[in-house]
Amino acid sequence: VLLPLVDPEHRQLLMSVDSDLRVHIFPDTEDANRLFYSNAHSIFFFIVNDTGITGYSVVVSSSTEGSGETRFEYKGVEAWSIVFAPNESLAALAPRTPETVKSAGRILGNRGVLYKYLNANF
């Protein structure tokens, strides 16, 4: 999962989850680790299978210190689940895409509107 977190070297963090629900971040640097640690309480993910959907929250499972560097280990903990009835199935799943809001004009300081198009009703 590509996270909305950017490290000091302007690299976006990537989170992966293994089969034991251990969470790994890339790049695996001290700065990225600190950034992920400070935002871990607000990071969630979900897993879809044949019987339903399970949502997980990220928690710090342990920390180690060595060579002046603190390393954290993260784990997914079940937060919610939806179980499908025997006759139900998931037809499609679409990712949420970041979309910018389009507007026909700009609000000016005097509360007027500067329209981007000639026709104000467009």
Where residue 55 falls among pLDDT bands split at 50, 70, 90? very high
More confident residue, 66 or 30: 30
More confident residue, 56 or 99: 56
Q: What contacts 24+ positions apart, CB below 8 Å, involve 34-43?
A: 35/5, 35/7, 36/3, 36/5, 36/72, 36/74, 37/72, 39/5, 40/74, 43/3, 43/15
Q: What is the pLDDT of residues 89-121, one digit of tens each?
A: 888 877 777 666 677 778 888 988 887 766 656
More confident residue, 51 or 77: 77
Mean pLDDT of 74-91: 90
Is residue 63 a contact partner of residue 71, using CB atoms and an 8 Å limit?
A: yes
Q: What pLDDT was estimated at residue 6?
A: 87
